[in-house]
Structure formats: C-alpha cells, structure tokens
Homo-oligomer: A and B are copies of this chain.
Amino acid sequence: MIKAAILGYGTVGSGIFEILNSNKETISKKTGNDIEVKYVLDLREFPGDPVEKVLVHDFDIIVNDKEVDIVAEAMGGVEPAYTFAKKAIESGKSFCTSNKELVAKHGAELLKLAKEHKVNFLFEASVGGGIPIIRPLNSSLTPEYVEEITGILNGTTNYMMTKMSKEGLDFDSVLKDAQDKGYAERNPEADIEGYDACRKIAILSSIAYGKQVDFEDIHTEGITNISDTDMVYAAKLNKAIKLLGTSYKENGKVTAMVAPMLVDNESPLYAVNDVFNAILVKGNMLGEVMFYGKGAGKLATASAVVSDIIEEAKNIGNTLTCVWEADKIELNDFSCASNVFFVRVNASLKDKVSSIFGDVETVDAGVDNEYAFITKKMTEGEFADKTEQLGGIINKIRVKC
C-alpha cells in the first residue's frame, strides 16, 4: 500500500481524488500496489464530501508523516507550492504537480533536489492537460535530437480562434462566449495575451533541449489583435490562425516565440480545434510526431497527475531521468529570428509595398480598401524596418513554415 497526499481540493485536486477512487482497480493493477489517499490539504471545509475523512488544513501533518510517499500538488501559483515541494522532497517524498508556474520557474532546481533525495519530481499535467507529452519526451523520444517543438498549448484561445473562424464572429463576442462557458476567466489576460502558452513552451523547450529556457526570455504575443477580417484572409489562404508556442534549433541557436500564426491545411495542427491542444515534436531521426488531446478540464488534467502518482509509486527509491539542467540557454535574439509575414495595409500603400518589400504574394480576399500580401522570409528586424518605412500597417500574422 502506497500512501499519497493531495494539496488543494479545487478542480484538479478533486479530480485526482475522484480518479484514484473510481479507477482504483485498474490503477492497482498497473501500479502493482494499492494507492491510498491519506490526506487532502485545503483551507476550506467540505461538509458531506467524501474528502472530509482525509481533509487536513496544515501541511506539516503531511510532511511529518513518514507513511506518505507521494505528494500531488494542484493548487497553482508559485507560492506556497514551491515551499511545499521543497519540504516534501527534502522529507524523502516524491512530488508531482499540474502547476506550470511552479515548473517553469523552479523545474530544474526541483528535479535536482529530487535526484539528491532519491525521489521523483514529475509534472506531466503542467503542459497539455491530459495529453501525454512530458513522459514521452523523457522516455520515448530519447534517441532524438529535438529540432523543433510547436504546440497549440492553450485551449481557451484555441476555442476562440476556432469559433471566430467557423462562425465569423468578432473577438469580443467570442471572448464573452468563452467566459460564459467557463473556458476563459473573468480576467482573461493569462490566456489571451499568451502568458499561459509561454510558460508551457518554456517547460517543453527546457526538456527538449536539456537546459533551462526562461519564460521571461520568450517573445510573446497574444491573440487580441486577431479580427474577423483576419479570419476571412485565413480562409482564403486555406490556413487557420492558431496561437502557437514554438521553439526550434537553427545554426546551433534556439529561437522561441508565442504568437498567433497562419497554419497550412496540410499541417496536422490545422485540424486541432476547439479546446483541444496538440504538441508537435520534430526529431532529427524520427521526423514529426504529434500528441493530441484535451488541454484542460478537471478529469483530463487530473488523469495526467494520477499517471505521475502511479509512476512515482512504481519508482520508490529510483529517480527517473529528466535531462533539464539549470544552466540557461541563451535564446536567439528575437530580432534575428526569420519569419514569413502575412501583412494587411491600407490600399493606398500598394505601390509602396512592392518598392519596399520587393516581390510579394498578393492575397485578395475581397476586403475593401485594403491590400494584403505575404512576404518572403526575413528577419524580425528587417520586417520591423520595412514596416516603419511603409508608415504603418493594419495587422500582420506570421506564417508557419
């Protein structure tokens, strides 16, 4: 019998509790042992809920209980999760978490600490909700040098982009709809400004390239500039606009970015709609593989945490390998990153476009008073210079190559 504790009885925490109880039999079989939840930590009371019998309000009860081998955290936010993680690991307990802020900031350090204490620190649920991606990177794509990792990492914004594309609605309407459905927060900044996707691509990149990628270093744009008119152009181009987190290696340097991009209908990412997420990994031997599923939601995310609990239960005394060193990757200066741009300008600027940008591909989607075009590949720096010479644009969206 392995004893576990859950920190936080919110959406994900209660999902973990539910899955460990309702799928007990298959979990025992796969673990080769029973897993019992000895404690759930939450400041609140839950009268009448089955959690009552194991509810505690003081973390020290958990950390001081030698019977507890595994602590699963689902509170979110860096503190007190970070302090709890350190204390649990230092007490010889394995720790797992769905908390992307904690992992993006302290992943390398907590992995090292876990190794020193011969326990595990796992975080499958921190990226892609229920999609297996962290463990496949650590134990399936192990023969590969990762050349690129690109994902639709935020379900809320993907729902919004899908709805704008399919129903021709404007940004504000779909944001309201997403809020009404509970997909977007009342304060939607973390989703629509790309901050959530940014932490996730930072975590993925750190594992893919084996060293720390700081999320603060990643160029991040959200979807707030995307309009219903952009969707008209996208449809004309047989492309979809997706908020992508992406990083890739070129000439020995890693470039990373979060931005809405035009994805071609030949890409497997094109058909990833609604609240679904997908992560595409390109290995030097394997080529492209993609992992697809629900990027959020109570039971999907909780299932990923439970899979970590099971791995930790199977590996008491054995630290699983995750190559994520603390020394930092110096990302490629973003102004040197090369991209292809779709650009909309005032119709009067058409002639100026060809004199400044040279040969471009004109895109005619029947929009009045506008001229739209696709540039050749150029650096972000060059593009900024040229748009300045042009004297202003309506919008630009990068084209995923």
Contact of A286 among B270, B287, B289, B299 (CB under 8 A): B299
Q: Is the CB of B142 within 8 A of A132?
A: no
Query: Does any Cβ of B come within 8 Å of A10's Cβ?
Result: no
Q: How far is the CB of A139 from chain B (nearest CB, A)?
A: 6
Query: Does any Cβ of B come within 8 Å of A27's Cβ?
Result: yes
Q: Is the CB of B19 within 8 A of A143?
A: yes
Q: Is the CB of B143 within 8 A of A135?
A: no
Contacts of A271 in B (CB 8 A): 268, 270-271
Query: Does any Cβ of B come within 8 Å of A294's Cβ?
Result: yes
Q: Is the CB of A292 within 8 A of B293?
A: no
Contacts of A318 in B (CB 8 A): 318
Contact of A145 among B20, B26, B31 (CB under 8 A): B26
Q: Is the CB of B23 within 8 A of A145?
A: yes
Instruction: Give the number of residues in A that approach B within 8 Å (Cβ atoms).
Output: 58
- Residues facing B in A88-129 (CB within 8 A) are 124
Query: Does any Cβ of B come within 8 Å of A311's Cβ?
Result: yes
User: What is the 8 Å Cβ interface bit string for chain A, positions 252-292, against chain B (1 contact, 0 not)?
Assistant: 00000000000000101011110010000001111111111
Q: How far is A397 from B268 in the complex, measured between Cα atoms in Å?
A: 25
Contacts of A266 in B (CB 8 A): 273
Q: Is the CB of B286 within 8 A of A293?
A: yes
Query: Does any Cβ of B come within 8 Å of A381's Cβ?
Result: no
Q: Is the CB of A27 within 8 A of B285?
A: no
Q: Is the CB of A307 within 8 A of B30?
A: no
Total identical chains: 2
Most chain B C-beta atoms within 10 Å of own C-beta, residue among A23, A131, A293, A299: A293
Most chain B C-beta atoms within 10 Å of own C-beta, residue among A19, A132, A271: A132
Given known pairs A132-B140, A311-B139, the reply for A300 and B285 (CB within 8 Å) is yes
Contact of A130 among B20, B142, B287 (CB under 8 A): B287
Q: Is the CB of A143 within 8 A of B307?
A: yes
Query: Does any Cβ of B come within 8 Å of A238's Cβ?
Result: no
Contact of A268 among B145, B272, B299, B321 (CB under 8 A): B272
Q: Is the CB of A294 within 8 A of B299?
A: no
Q: Is the CB of A307 within 8 A of B27?
A: no
Q: How far is the CB of A146 from chain B (nearest CB, A)?
A: 9
Q: How far is the CB of A142 from chain B (nearest CB, A)?
A: 4
Contacts of A77 in B (CB 8 A): none
Query: Does any Cβ of B come within 8 Å of A32's Cβ?
Result: yes
Q: Is the CB of B291 within 8 A of A287?
A: no
Contacts of A283 in B (CB 8 A): 303
Contact of A23 among B23, B132, B144, B289 (CB under 8 A): B144
Query: Does any Cβ of B come within 8 Å of A29's Cβ?
Result: yes
Closest 9 CB pairs of A and B: A132-B140, A289-B293, A143-B306, A290-B292, A271-B271, A30-B142, A286-B303, A285-B299, A130-B286
